[in-house]
A = this chain, B = another copy of it.
Amino acid sequence: MIPIISTVPIQQLASGDCLSIQVYKFIGANPGKKTYLQANLHGAEIVGNAVIHQLIEFLISINDTQLNGEIWLVPVCNPISTNQRTHYFSTGRYNPSDGKDWNRIFWDYEKECEDLEDFAKSHINLEVDAIQNEYFKRIKTIFDKLLEKLNSPSGAPFNERYRYQLQSLCLDADYVIDIHSSSNQAIDYLYGFHRREESAKYFLLEHEILLNEYDGDAFDEAFLKPWLALENQLETLGKPIVFDKESWTLELGSGMQMNPESVEKGVQGIKNYLAQKDILSIPDFPLPQTASHKVTFVSKSTLKKYYAPRGGMIQSRVKLGASIEAGERLYQIISFNKEELPKLIDVCAENAGLVFDISTNHAVNEGEYVLSVM
């Protein structure tokens, strides 16, 4: 199966050069759901490019009759951040001109939909598909208006131009998968949403952070939150529905790396997910272990991040992936206080848990990030 490759211009630079993204569209012989995958929204988080590269090679090797619906793949989806360097580090987590996190800029229909209750009431007696169609039309209508501002003389800051391009590609998708990693160093895990817990295990990862609170305007949130809001509204009105819309963020290891084990887990998990969803009809998938696979769910609000109480150098830190007890020492700071001997400061765990993310840099100014416990 050969993909359609389309090129979407993203930004003309001061030099006149133009950055663009590539969309690899695999169209199945049979109609079906649309799946959208992207990688490398944050500059340092490159692992998903290898995952998508392997998926492209795999999809090329199969027949279009083995694909129901469409799979759209966008590696290096944010060339501005991928190419940014300070020294030789990928420091492109934030847009340098406004400081915004590249994954907190997306347009969220829920925030503009003021008549959701009215919509729910007036459509409650329709079939699920009909409700979904009507609701999507509304989203699309408002989304299309964003273009007016982009094309006005006053224009729009780059963040708004950029998000319009990416969200244009996935607005009508059914399943959205955004591949990230830690900007530091982390285990492999998943971010997922309410009422989609059952599908989580298809990815065959051990941990999911359940988004019970939102940072706001992240890519995964922006896609799914409007649908969750409508589900909530309908439930309040006595008609519990779960739309067949899903949004996932895969976190595959560490920043500036493409760890082979993480890449392999990502590829396998996505193939298994697509097979479970009947999008791919491929040998050996879904994998037999899927049914019995257990995912540990942790609510986002219960995560605990540790920040350095003093400036200095971190040593004797617990290992990534370690299970720790309350009161156990997590790390030690060598603090080179002026006019006296260096001091050692022990920092201990407030609660038991799993160390799932640790800082790459062992030198810390006061208040810098050290590690996270789930």
Contact = CB atoms under 8 A, between A and B. Distances in A.
Interface stretch (A83-91, A122-130, A287-295): A83-91
B361 A49 contact: no
Contact of A312 (B16, B97, B156, B260): B16
A100 to B, nearest CB: 7
Secondary structure type dominating chain A contacts: loop
Interface in A72-130: 75-76, 79, 82-83, 85-91, 93-94, 96-97, 99-101
B360 A88 contact: yes
A82 B363 contact: yes
A313 B14 contact: yes
A176 B364 CA distance: 27
Given A53-B342, A369-B88, A369-B97, A82 B13 contact: yes
A53 B16 contact: no
A16 B365 CA distance: 9
B90 A99 contact: no
A183 interface: yes
Contacts of A167: none
A15 interface: yes
A22 interface: yes
Given A49-B313, A87-B96, A366-B11, A306 B19 contact: no
A76 B16 contact: yes
A229 interface: no
A183 B87 contact: yes
Contacts of A339: 5, 7, 22
A37 to B, nearest CB: 14
Contact of A315 (B14, B258, B312): B258
Contacts of A58: none
B101 A96 contact: no
A216 B361 CA distance: 29
Given A11-B366, A14-B312, A15-B79, A86 B88 contact: no
A340 interface: yes
A350 interface: yes
A31 interface: no
* Count of chain copies: 4
A14 B367 contact: no
A25 interface: no
Interface in A153-175: 153-162
A145 interface: no
Given A90-B363, A94-B99, 10 more contacts: A7-B338, A16-B312, A16-B336, A16-B342, A22-B336, A24-B341, A44-B361, A88-B184, A158-B368, A161-B367
Contacts of A276: none
Contacts of A367: 11, 155-162
A38 to B, nearest CB: 13
A363 B366 CA distance: 24
Contacts of A66: none
A25 to B, nearest CB: 13
Given A14-B76, A311-B11, A366-B161, A91 B87 contact: yes
Contacts of A141: none
9 contacts: A12-B366, A14-B313, A16-B312, A18-B311, A49-B313, A56-B342, A88-B361, A153-B348, A159-B367
